[in-house]
């Protein structure tokens, strides 16, 4: 039994799921192969509790954009530890970070901080309701675990009565949004949506279409940039697609993994915060604020996003070439900062099985990925070349295994 498996047995005695985050839940079909517990990480690599080394393409589910233990960020944080983590009154660092965000994100004139992505979204929803005096929302994508983003069904702990306040739409479905607005805009405070869902549609037509509809029907437009912010570009998806929301939520990539989120936008809306109480003890915690300031400064100085696109494109090109060489029906798509490789046979069961087997082979060869290939500033050409070599043999083993499996 591996140390990962032993630790999971132990964890499950004390921690439901054995972990805190849904996406980190161990997949038992990969037991003995998938690294369930990580010991340490540096750059684009981590080492699991069995001493195995991985090149990571999950990057802590998005936040680590420069690389793990990025010296300049961590040194700044260490200096701040000497001064204090949390004070009895505000820290001037809050102003420094607010200034930077308003400089780099086109739509943000004022901003406040929280801890998780879900907090930023919840604050924006409360703010939009308070500002417009309307209760209902239209929402799209995963926005977090709070009651306002989860459909209430018997037993899941979310009051079913809240469902009447929320319309959920599919990414790209402008027609459905317009239908809802036609019928009920006078009760709708805002549309809260991910501006890009990391799938094939990289056109930006959906967020741009929503901007038009929001203006036409007089509702606020909120971008949930928790995953896209500071990743697609320093100004997020709104800069990348050139579309201006009224409010936005940010979290993951803004502080290279330190826990902080932000919500902000139009000054006239943000001023409404003078009248309502959105507050949290740890929202002004200085280490994460310091990490965010340093991360944003590095992003500006080093042209991080150019690098992410370059290495991401190299990966995508490599995947396509390898798939062609092996005669595999595959789809390589998305934006290079977090692209995808999917099998594309008519038989969905076959696609799913091949995907499972490919992940297994990649784990075995020291590549850690799931669904999307998140790259960081620490993924250099050398690592991408190593990844493509390993990907090629993983794909070969996958196909061999699949053929053998189907002969039995
Ligand atoms: C688009 C989006 N919004 C909100 C969230 C929730 O963020 P957090 O887990 O930090 O609360 C996530 C998390 O994955 C997300 O991807």
Q: Ligand 1 in contact with 41 (CB < 6 A)?
A: no
Note the pLDDT tens digit of each residue in 93-135.
Answer: 999 999 999 999 989 999 999 999 999 999 999 999 999 999 9
Q: Ligand 1 in contact with 116 (CB < 6 A)?
A: yes
- Can you name the residues that pair with 342 across neighbouring β-strands? 331
Architecture of domain 71-301: 3-Layer(aba) Sandwich (3.40)
Structure tokens that stand for 359 in this block = 């992940």
Q: pTM of the prediction?
A: 0.97
pLDDT of 408 higher than 80: no
> What pLDDT, on the 0 to 100 scale, is given for residue 254?
98
CA of 391 relative to ligand 1 center, distance in Å: 29
Residues of the chain with CATH 3.40.640.10: 71-301
Q: What is the dihedral of CA 292, 296, 299, 300, to 10 degrees?
A: -170
Q: Ligand 1 in contact with 369 (CB < 6 A)?
A: no
233-261 core/surface letters (b: 16 or more CB in 10 A; e: else): bbbbbbbbbebbbbbbbbbbbbbbbbebb
pLDDT of 382 higher than 70: yes
> What pLDDT, on the 0 to 100 scale, is given for residue 146?
96
- Under DSSP, the state recorded for 17 is G
Note the pLDDT tens digit of each residue in 22-35.
Answer: 999 999 999 999 99
**Ligand 1, residues 59, 238, 251: which to mutate, most atoms within 8 A of Cβ?**
251
> What pLDDT, on the 0 to 100 scale, is given for residue 154?
93
CA of 122 relative to ligand 1 center, distance in Å: 11
**Ligand 1, residues 23, 59, 226, 255: which to mutate, most atoms within 8 A of Cβ?**
226
Q: Ligand 1 in contact with 142 (CB < 6 A)?
A: yes
Nearest to 36 by CA among 2, 86, 87, 78: 2
Distance between CA atoms of residues 281 and 291, nearest Å: 18
pLDDT band of 407, cuts 50, 70, 90: confident
Q: Summarize the confidence of residues 172-182 as an average pLDDT.
A: 98
Q: Summarize the confidence of residues 168-173 as an average pLDDT.
A: 98
pLDDT > 90: what percent of the chain? 99
| Average pLDDT of the residues of the chain | 97
Q: Ligand 1 in contact with 192 (CB < 6 A)?
A: no
Residues of the chain with CATH 3.90.1150.10: 3-68+303-407
Find out if CATH 3.40.50.2000 is the number for domain 3-68+303-407.
no
> What pLDDT, on the 0 to 100 scale, is given for residue 12?
97
Note the pLDDT tens digit of each residue in 335-346.
Answer: 999 999 999 999
């Amino acid at each position: 039994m591996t140390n990962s498996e032993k630790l999971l047995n132990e964890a499950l005695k004390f921690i439901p799921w054995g972990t805190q985050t849904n996406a980190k839940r161990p997949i038992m079909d990969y037991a003995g192969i998938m690294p369930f517990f990580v010991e340490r990480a540096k750059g684009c690599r981590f080492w699991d509790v069995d001493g195995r080394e991985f090149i990571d393409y999950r990057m802590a589910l998005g936040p680590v954009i420069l690389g793990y233990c990025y010296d300049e960020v961590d040194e700044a944080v260490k200096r701040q530890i000497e001064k204090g983590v949390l004070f009895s009154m505000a820290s001037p660092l809050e102003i420094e970070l607010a200034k930077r965000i308003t400089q780099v994100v086109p739509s943000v004139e004022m901003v406040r901080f929280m801890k998780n992505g879900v907090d930023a979204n919840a604050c924006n929803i409360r703010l939009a309701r308070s500002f417009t005096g309307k209760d209902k929302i239209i929402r799209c994508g995963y926005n977090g675990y709070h009651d306002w983003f989860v459909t209430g069904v018997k037993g899941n702990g979310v009051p079913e009565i809240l469902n009447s306040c929320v319309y959920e739409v599919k990414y790209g479905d402008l027609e459905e949004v317009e239908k809802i607005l036609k019928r009920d805009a006078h009760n709708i405070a805002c549309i809260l949506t991910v501006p890009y869902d990391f799938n094939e549609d990289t056109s930006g037509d959906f967020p741009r279409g929503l901007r038009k509809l929001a203006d036409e029907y007089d509702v606020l437009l909120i971008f949930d940039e928790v995953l896209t912010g500071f990743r697609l570009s320093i100004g997020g998806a709104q800069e990348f697609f050139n579309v201006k929301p009224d409010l936005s939520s940010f979290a993951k990539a803004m502080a290279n993994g330190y826990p902080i989120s932000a919500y902000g936008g139009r000054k006239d809306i943000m001023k409404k915060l003078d009248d309502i109480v959105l507050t949290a003890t740890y929202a002004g915690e200085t280490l994460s604020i310091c990490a965010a300031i340093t991360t944003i400064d590095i992003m500006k100085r080093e042209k991080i996003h150019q690098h992410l696109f370059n290495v991401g494109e190299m990966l995508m090109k490599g995947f396509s070439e390898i798939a062609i060489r092996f005669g595999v029906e595959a789809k390589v798509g998305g934006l290079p900062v977090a692209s995808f490789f999917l099998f594309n046979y008519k038989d969905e069961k076959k696609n799913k099985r091949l995907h499972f087997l490919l992940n297994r082979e990649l784990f075995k060869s020291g590549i850690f990925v799931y669904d999307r290939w998140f790259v960081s500033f620490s993924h250099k050409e050398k690592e991408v070349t190593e990844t493509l070599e390993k990907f090629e043999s993983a794909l070969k083993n996958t196909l061999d295994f699949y053929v053998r499996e189907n002969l039995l």
